[in-house]
Amino acid sequence: MPAGLSRFGAEERRRLAVEACRMLERLRRHGAGPDGSVSRLVYTPEWQAAMDEVALWLSEGGLEVRTDAVGSRFGRLAGELPEVVLTGSHMDSVRGGGAYDGVLGVVMAGCAVRWLAAHLGRPRRTLEVFANCEEESSRFHCNFWGSRALAGLIEPGESERLRDASGTSLAEAMSACGFDPARIPEARRSDLVAYLEPHIEQGPVLFQANQVIGVVDRIVGLRMLTVDLDGMAGHAGTIPMAHRRDALTGAAEVALGTERIARRRGAPTVATVGSLVVQPGGFNQVPGAAELTIDFRHPEEQVLDELESELRQLVAGVAASRNLTARVERRLGQRPVHFDERLCAALEAACAEAAVPWRRMPSHAGHDAQLIGTLCPAAMFFVPSRDGHSHRPDERTEPEHIGAGIEVLVRALVQIAYAEP
């Protein structure tokens, strides 16, 4: 163990937790709403202010700061070797979200690498803090924009095609912030050898179990179907019940059937009907058309195949019994991702050294690590969020859990970046 690690104890944890919480409060101001929420969407003035603030903080900690072609910030602690160990998360938020999702991972990574720079000095492998420009797809449906840029997965012309609710293209929004969309390919990285992403748990498992760290060894697969049901609209008072082709009641039956299928499968299966649009939409009109989405997730690809088959059969059966026309289209399909076992083991060893309670667990939400994991070995760890809250104003991680997470990250980075490759 490097001599500098002997400095780590309860007092150092508390000090770093205080530093992290102060930084979170500074960042919370950018996009703050009157209800305590945070709305910080990519390429907005609030986003720009937060990115500048985190860049200044990293620079003040002795790190060399740079900005890539899509606006992500990196705080670099140069090592003896050019290969890079990356750690961090995303800076953007959902609309009306909280101050911890994504940003806490950036702040924990910044605290860890700043501490290493001050106490252990130059690593063998170069360390970089990653303040990712965009992950949430809250302004544009751009699906992990910052990490896709690192992986070289942004398609030509994509920034021109994607538009926000006001009609502004992503390319126009980039240009307004001083970024040239033509240079997006320059963000691609070929020097990464490991990625560790700290993040709040976006569920209640750790909180309910009173555990501090969740070592994430996989991200479950996700699929999303859109279902269009067409019946016949008409007057709510004059069409007899026996002659109705009501698309909304068909959609309701599909929604209940989806829940029934997921409950029958049991954990870790989840399925959600998250949106429903009905036409014509009048209180005195029989609904003639309905469109709904079905989001379903599981760690195994074979089970996802089986679930999709069951759901398609459910829709076909409902349509036939109610004399409706049905169309089902898969709009999203993300395969399950398994993280690097050696990095997971490094996180577990760090938890043991720090005497921090931990457990292995999957993530049921998508994260940057699944994209960066196509470039290099990757893993994640969670810290608890009070009551499992996420994407809402009352997100909160207790300071003692933040301090413990920073120590775990420091110890894991020592294994990965300071030891002989």
pLDDT digits (tens, 9 = 90+) for 356-389: 999 999 998 889 999 999 999 999 999 999 999 9
Q: Average pLDDT of the chain?
A: 96
What confidence score (pLDDT) does residue 206 get?
Answer: 95
**The pLDDT of residue 101 is above 70:** yes
What confidence score (pLDDT) does residue 421 get?
Answer: 67
- For residues 20 and 105, the answer to whether their CB atoms sit within 8 Å is no
**The pLDDT of residue 409 is above 90:** yes
Q: What is d(CA 371, CA 73) in angstroms, rounded to the nearest whole number?
A: 17
What confidence score (pLDDT) does residue 8 get?
Answer: 82
Q: How big is the chain by its Cα radius of gyration, in Å?
A: 24
The domains found in the chain, sorted by start residue, are: 3-219+336-418 (3.40.630.10), 221-334 (3.30.70.360)
What confidence score (pLDDT) does residue 284 get?
Answer: 96
pLDDT digits (tens, 9 = 90+) for 276-318: 999 999 999 999 999 999 999 999 999 999 999 999 999 999 9
**The pLDDT of residue 243 is above 70:** yes
What confidence score (pLDDT) does residue 358 get?
Answer: 96
Q: What is d(CA 140, CA 347) in angstroms, rounded to the nearest whole number?
A: 34
What confidence score (pLDDT) does residue 181 get?
Answer: 98
**The pLDDT of residue 6 is above 80:** no
Q: What is d(CA 312, CA 314) in angstroms, rounded to the nearest whole number?
A: 5
**The pLDDT of residue 332 is above 90:** no
**The pLDDT of residue 420 is above 80:** no
What confidence score (pLDDT) does residue 190 get?
Answer: 97
Alpha helices in 120-155, H assignment, sequence order: 145-151
What confidence score (pLDDT) does residue 334 get?
Answer: 85
The pLDDT > 90 percentage for the chain reads 93
What confidence score (pLDDT) does residue 3 get?
Answer: 61
The set of long-range contacts for 77-80, using a CB threshold of 8 Å and a minimum separation of 24, is 77/113, 77/116, 77/117, 77/122, 77/123, 77/126, 77/127, 77/128, 78/122, 78/126, 79/122, 79/123, 79/124, 79/125, 79/126, 79/127, 79/417, 80/122, 80/123, 80/124, 80/125
Residues in the chain: 421
Contacts of 361 (CB under 8 A, 6+ apart): 205, 206, 214, 215, 216, 217, 382
**The pLDDT of residue 197 is above 90:** yes
pLDDT digits (tens, 9 = 90+) for 30-75: 999 999 999 999 999 999 999 999 999 999 999 999 999 999 999 9
Q: Name the amino acid, one letter, at 399.
A: P
pLDDT digits (tens, 9 = 90+) for 132-160: 999 999 999 998 999 999 999 999 999 99
Ramachandran area for residue 336 (φ above 0: left; ψ -120 to 50: alpha; else beta): beta
What confidence score (pLDDT) does residue 68 get?
Answer: 98
